[in-house]
């Protein structure tokens, strides 16, 4: 008898009928002879609605109270799912993250999980209950309720699976696996049978929200078997595996295309070109807790240059406030912001051993008359910042360029 961790996303528990469908799946898994822990997200758009509600009260809600509010979303769905399972004649018990001992580092809105206690979950499993745990939340050592960041229920699921040594961590969602691109944007995207942890980490952190990137990092580290499947279909889904296995199964140079529409670009104009200025600029941004993504610096003219960088769009206000300080401290002429951007990326471990992969990307974008504003590369990815309105066109063009279309 194995232990299975299943995670059901917001769209999988969006209404009562769907909660009943999930309850049946949990029961079936148990009936097949497994112990089961189900991690659940908030129903449908609950988290978005709670954020909007807070913003009606105050423009910039304080982080602690925001986490207190958002944690209630998941608490609704665990209780409802446990009731549904019980009403079908089976044992189930629901727990919040803090109740079950999900210990976080205490930072609000973007907490990391430090440890997961096993005893309470194991005790309930031993009694024959399905254990239903709220995703996305935990508590710090001093009892503060904290959340893990948007999409964080996936990370709860993998952390619980790793702590319990689960046989499998199944992420159930509204698509039937990981595709070569977001199937809502690229209609002929192909479902992958397997993808390497390394590629999946990149795709997830570059905008493919089907998995939370930190969940993939954890699964990779603890070698937790991880699978993405549809809640509403009986299907194998996509298995996340180690590199060599994925390469044997999928021989494409590029495995996938990702789009991130939640970025903003800041340009610092007329930055004095002398040693120490970049350190001052990024020191101020770092102290403000802003995570920088891409950076480019132009060649200098008359002792001044321009520096552009990207940040998550939700941090734009904070960044512009920090930029005012930067201008003052360094004598930079002005700071401009642009929210009208997106980042498109190609990812593939196969690209390490191929040349000309990046130039094909630039050519595909040029053929669509899409201007590239910034470029960044690593061994297994190439990303370009482009105009927001052209992001979906870019994804389709790149998907076609690398021959990713078709059916698996």
Contact residues toward ligand ASP (CB under 6 A) are: 9-10, 41-42, 47, 73, 135-136, 150-153
Regarding 393 and contact with ligand ADP (CB under 6 A), the answer is: no
What does the DSSP assignment read for 212-230? -HHHHHHHHHHT--EEEEE
Q: Residue with CB nearest Mg ion?
A: 151
Whole-number Å distance between alpha carbons of 191 and 227: 13
Closest CB 61 distance from ligand ADP, rounded Å: 23
**Residue 6 interacts with which of ligand ADP, Mg ion, ligand ASP, none, CB < 5 to 8 Å by class:** none
Q: Of 12 and 94, which has the nearer Cβ to ligand ADP?
A: 12
To ligand ASP, the closest distance from the beta carbon of 295 in angstroms equals 28
Nearer Cβ to ligand ADP (14/277): 14
Q: Which long-range contacts (CB under 8 A, 24 or more apart) does 270-276 make?
A: 270/304, 270/306, 270/332, 270/333, 270/334, 271/304, 271/305, 271/306, 271/307, 271/330, 271/332, 271/333, 272/303, 272/304, 272/330, 272/331, 272/332, 273/300, 273/303, 273/304, 273/305, 274/303
Select from 185, 245, 176, 243 the least CA-distant residue to 210: 176
152 near ligand ADP (CB under 6 A): no
> Which region among 1-9, 56-64, 250-258, 321-329 touches Mg ion (by CB under 5 A)?
1-9
Calpha distance 404→254 (Å, rounded): 8
- For ligand ADP, the binding residues in 27-56 under the rule CB under 6 A are 41
DSSP 8-state symbol, 274: S
> Could you say which of ligand ASP, Mg ion, ligand ADP, none residue 150 binds, taking C-beta under 5 to 8 angstroms by partner kind?
ligand ASP
Per CB under 5 A, contacts with Mg ion among 30-89 are none
Q: Report the distance separating Cα 300 and Cα 270, nearest Å.
A: 9
135 near Mg ion (CB under 5 A): no
Tell how far CA 394 is from the center of its chain: 21
Residue 116 DSSP SS3: strand
Using the rule CB under 5 A, is 151 a contact of Mg ion? yes
Q: Closest distance between ligand ASP and the C-beta of residue 286, in Å?
A: 25
- Per-residue DSSP letter, 44: T
The rounded distance, in Å, linking the Cα atoms of 1 and 120 is 19
Out of Mg ion, ligand ADP, ligand ASP, none, what residue 182 binds, judged by CB under 5 to 8 A for its kind, is ligand ADP
Task: State the nearest-atom distance from the C-beta of 210 to Mg ion, in Å.
Answer: 7
Q: Taking CB under 6 A as the rule, does residue 175 contact ligand ADP?
A: yes
With contacts defined by CB under 6 A, how many residues of the chain interact with ligand ADP?
A: 19
Which residues of this chain interact with ligand ADP, rule CB under 6 A? 9-12, 41, 151, 173-175, 178-179, 181-184, 208-210, 256
Residues that bind Mg ion (CB under 5 A): 9, 151
């Amino acid at each position: 008898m194995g232990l299975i961790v299943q995670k059901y996303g917001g769209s999988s528990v969006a209404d009562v009928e769907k909660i009943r469908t999930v309850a049946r799946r949990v029961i079936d898994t148990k009936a097949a002879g497994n112990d089961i822990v189900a991690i659940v997200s908030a129903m449908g758009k609950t988290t978005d609605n709670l954020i909007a509600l807070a913003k009606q009260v105050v423009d910039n809600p304080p982080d602690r109270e925001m986490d207190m509010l958002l944690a209630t979303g998941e608490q609704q769905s665990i209780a409802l799912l446990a009731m549904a399972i019980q009403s079908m004649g089976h044992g189930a018990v629901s727990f919040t993250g803090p109740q079950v001992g999900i210990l976080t580092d205490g930072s609000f809105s973007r907490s990391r999980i430090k440890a997961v206690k096993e005893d309470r979950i194991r005790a309930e499993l031993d009694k024959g209950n399905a254990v239903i745990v709220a995703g996305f939340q935990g508590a710090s050592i001093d009892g503060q309720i904290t959340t893990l960041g948007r999409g964080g229920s996936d990370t709860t699921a993998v952390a619980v699976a790793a702590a319990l040594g689960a046989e499998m961590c199944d992420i159930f969602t509204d698509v039937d696996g990981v595709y070569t691109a977001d199937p809502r944007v690229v209609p002929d995207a192909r479902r992958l049978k397997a993808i390497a942890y390394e590629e999946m980490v990149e795709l997830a952190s570059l905008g493919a929200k089907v998995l939370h990137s930190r969940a993939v990092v954890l699964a990779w580290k603890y070698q937790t078997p991880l699978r993405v499947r549809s809640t509403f279909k009986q299907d194998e889904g996509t298995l996340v595996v180690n590199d060599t296995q994925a390469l044997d199964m999928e021989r494409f140079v590029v495995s996938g295309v990702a789009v991130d529409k939640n970025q903003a670009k800041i340009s610092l104009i007329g930055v004095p070109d002398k040693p120490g200025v970049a350190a001052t600029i990024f020191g101020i941004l770092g102290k403000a807790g802003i995570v920088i993504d891409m950076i480019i610096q132009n060649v200098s003219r008359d002792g001044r240059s321009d520096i552009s960088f990207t940040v998550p769009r939700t941090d734009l206000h904070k960044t512009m406030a920090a930029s005012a300080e930067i201008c003052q401290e360094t004598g930079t002429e002005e700071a401009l912001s642009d929210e009208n951007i997106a980042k498109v990326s190609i990812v593939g471990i196969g690209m390490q051993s191929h040349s000309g992969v990046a130039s094909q990307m630039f050519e595909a974008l040029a053929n669509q008359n899409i201007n590239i504003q910034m470029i960044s590369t690593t061994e297994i990815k190439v990303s370009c910042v482009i105009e927001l309105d052209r992001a979906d066109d870019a994804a389709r063009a790149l998907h076609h360029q690398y021959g990713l279309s078709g059916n698996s």
